C-alpha cells in the first residue's frame, strides 16, 4: 500500500455524509430480494452493478430509488446499517452520521416504526460488535410536497430521541430550501440539528445556498461547491462557522476534474471542509478511505490536510463534548505519532 493510503487507512475519522440506501451493496440487495420475494431484473451482482450507469443527479436518483425497493422488514433495515458500519469500522471510522430517506419507504407501505427500529438495532449491534458510534439524520425527499415532508416529520416525532438531525436531499431542480422552511423551523424547535444538500451545479444553486444559510439557518451544507463562486456566500459561511460535507467521487461525477478547485479550494479558503462518501454502493464501492485517496490524487491532499479534515469532522459532529474530546484525543495521538515519523 502507498504510504498515503496507509496514512488514510489508519486515520481516526468521522463520516457525516452518507445515504444509507446508497450503501446497499448488490450482494445484500440479492439477499433481501430473496427474503422478501422481490423479483430483480438482473441475473447476478455483476449485471446489477453494470446497470449503475448515470450522468447527472436525476439519472443517478432513478437507479438509487429502484435499489431501495428490496427493503421491507425491520431486519432488512438492521442488516443495511450493520453492513455499512461494519465496513467503515474496518476503515477506522470512529463515528458516523447516516442519512435515511423515510419517504422512499413509507410511500411503499413500510411503517415508520419498522424502519427506525431496524435501523436503531443495526446501529446498536454495530457499536457492540465494532465499537463504532453513530446517529441518524432524517432526510426529506425534496421533489415530494411539503405536506408529504410534514407528514413524515409528524410520524418521526415519537422517535425523535433516535434521530439527531434533519436533512434535505434528492432532486434539487425547482425544489428550493424555502419550500421546506416551515418544517425546518419546527424541526429546530423540536431540538433537531439541521443540514441540507446544495448539490454541485444545480439550477439556482447560489440562491439555494443563500436560503439554506440565511433563511433556514443550517449548521452544515452537504456538497455546497458553488458557494465558492460568490464572495458574499463565502463570507456568510465563515461568519457562521458552517461545515461542508464534500464527496470527491460525487464531485467527479457532477463536474469532472474539479476536485482541485472544490475540495482544495474550500480548504485553502479556510472553510470547514469534511470528506465523505455519499452513496458508496453506487459509486464503484468507494467508501470514505477511497474518497480521501481521490482527494490526494486529484487535489493534492497530504497527511496534514487529512488531519485537518478529520478534526473538522469531529467538530462538526452532533455529539456530546465527552465523545468529542475522546475522538480528538485519538486523532491527536495518531497525528503526533505519524507526522513525527514522516518528518
Termini Cα distance of the chain: 20
- How many contiguous H segments (helices) and E segments (strands) does the chain have? 17, 8
Nearest approach in angstroms of CB 171 to ligand ADE is 7
Nearest approach in angstroms of CB 305 to ligand ADE is 23
Sign of the CA dihedral with 94 first, then 196, 235, and 216 last:
negative
- Strand ranges across the sheet with 13-15: 13-15, 93-100, 133-141, 165-169, 193-198, 220-223, 243-246, 272-275
Residue from 1, 13, 2 nearest 289 by CA: 13
DSSP letters, 183-194, are HHHHHHHTT-EE
Could you tell me how many residues make up the chain? 343
Residue 40 or residue 242: which is nearer to Zn ion going by CB? Answer: 242
Residue 79 within binding range of Zn ion, rule CB under 5 A: no
Q: Please, which residues bridge with residue 134 across strands?
A: 96
Q: How open is the CA angle 237-264-16, to the nearest 5 degrees?
A: 60
170 interface partner picked from Zn ion, ligand ADE, none, CB below 5 to 8 A per type: ligand ADE
Nearest approach in angstroms of CB 280 to Zn ion is 11
Residue 285 or residue 302: which is nearer to ligand ADE going by CB? Answer: 285
- Reduced to 3 states (helix: H, G, I; strand: E, B; else coil), residue 178 is helix
Nearest approach in angstroms of CB 97 to ligand ADE is 15
Contact window for Zn ion (CB under 5 A) among 45-53, 236-244, 271-279, 286-294: 271-279
Residue 278 within binding range of Zn ion, rule CB under 5 A: yes
Q: How many residues sit in the footprint of Zn ion (CB under 5 A)?
A: 1
Residue 68 or residue 310: which is nearer to ligand ADE going by CB? Answer: 68
Nearest approach in angstroms of CB 108 to ligand ADE is 17
Nearest approach in angstroms of CB 310 to Zn ion is 20
- Give the Cα separation of 74 and 79 in Å (integer): 9
Residue from 203, 137, 153, 147 nearest 176 by CA: 203
- Give the Cα separation of 26 and 31 in Å (integer): 9
- Reduced to 3 states (helix: H, G, I; strand: E, B; else coil), residue 223 is strand
Residue 134 or residue 338: which is nearer to ligand ADE going by CB? Answer: 134
79 interface partner picked from Zn ion, ligand ADE, none, CB below 5 to 8 A per type: none
258 interface partner picked from ligand ADE, Zn ion, none, CB below 5 to 8 A per type: none
Nearest approach in angstroms of CB 104 to Zn ion is 14
Residue 199 within binding range of Zn ion, rule CB under 5 A: no
Instruction: Give the CB-nearest residue to Zn ion.
Output: 278
Instruction: Give the CB-nearest residue to ligand ADE.
Output: 169
Residue 171 or residue 326: which is nearer to ligand ADE going by CB? Answer: 171
Could you list the residues that contact ligand ADE (CB under 6 A)?
19, 22, 64, 169-170, 197, 199, 250, 278-279
For residue 327, give the C-alpha cell. 475522538
Sign of the CA dihedral with 247 first, then 248, 253, and 256 last:
positive
Residue 23 or residue 289: which is nearer to ligand ADE going by CB? Answer: 23
Nearest approach in angstroms of CB 342 to Zn ion is 33
Where do contacts with Zn ion occur on this chain (CB under 5 A)? 278
Amino acid at each position: 500500500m502507498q504510504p498515503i493510503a496507509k496514512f488514510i487507512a489508519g486515520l481516526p475519522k468521522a463520516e457525516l455524509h452518507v445515504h444509507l440506501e446508497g450503501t446497499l451493496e448488490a450482494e445484500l440487495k440479492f439477499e433481501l430480494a430473496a427474503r422478501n420475494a422481490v423479483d430483480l431484473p438482473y441475473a447476478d451482482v455483476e449485471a446489477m452493478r453494470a446497470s449503475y450507469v448515470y450522468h447527472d443527479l436525476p439519472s443517478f436518483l432513478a437507479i438509487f430509488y429502484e435499489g431501495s425497493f428490496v427493503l421491507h422488514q425491520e431486519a432488512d433495515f438492521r442488516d443495511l446499517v450493520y453492513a455499512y458500519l461494519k465496513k467503515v469500522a474496518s476503515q477506522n471510522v470512529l463515528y458516523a452520521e447516516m442519512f435515511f430517506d423515510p419517504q422512499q419507504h413509507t410511500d411503499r407501505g413500510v411503517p415508520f416504526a419498522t424502519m427506525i427500529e431496524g435501523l436503531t438495532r443495526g446501529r446498536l449491534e454495530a457499536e457492540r460488535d465494532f465499537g463504532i458510534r453513530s446517529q441518524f439524520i432524517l432526510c426529506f425527499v425534496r421533489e415530494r410536497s411539503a405536506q408529504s415532508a410534514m407528514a413524515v416529520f409528524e410520524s418521526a416525532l415519537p422517535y425523535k430521541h433516535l434521530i439527531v438531525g434533519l436533512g434535505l436531499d434528492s432532486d434539487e431542480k425547482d425544489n428550493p430550501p424555502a419550500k421546506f422552511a416551515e418544517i425546518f423551523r419546527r424541526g429546530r424547535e423540536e431540538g433537531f440539528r439541521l443540514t441540507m444538500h446544495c448539490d454541485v451545479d444545480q439550477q439556482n444553486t447560489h440562491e439555494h445556498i443563500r436560503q439554506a444559510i440565511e433563511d433556514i439557518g443550517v449548521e452544515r451544507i452537504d456538497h455546497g461547491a458553488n458557494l465558492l463562486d460568490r464572495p458574499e456566500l463565502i463570507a456568510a459561511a465563515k461568519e457562521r462557522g458552517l461545515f461542508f460535507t464534500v464527496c470527491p467521487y460525487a464531485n467527479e461525477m457532477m463536474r469532472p476534474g474539479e476536485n482541485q478547485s472544490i475540495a482544495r479550494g474550500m480548504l485553502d479558503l479556510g472553510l470547514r471542509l469534511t470528506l465523505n462518501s455519499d452513496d458508496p454502493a453506487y459509486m464503484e464501492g468507494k467508501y470514505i478511505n477511497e474518497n480521501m485517496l481521490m482527494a490526494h490524487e486529484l487535489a493534492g491532499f497530504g497527511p496534514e490536510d487529512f488531519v485537518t479534515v478529520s478534526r473538522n469532522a469531529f467538530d462538526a459532529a452532533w455529539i456530546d463534548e465527552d465523545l468529542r474530546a475522546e475522538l480528538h484525543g485519538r486523532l491527536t495521538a495518531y497525528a503526533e505519532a505519524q507526522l513525527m515519523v514522516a518528518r
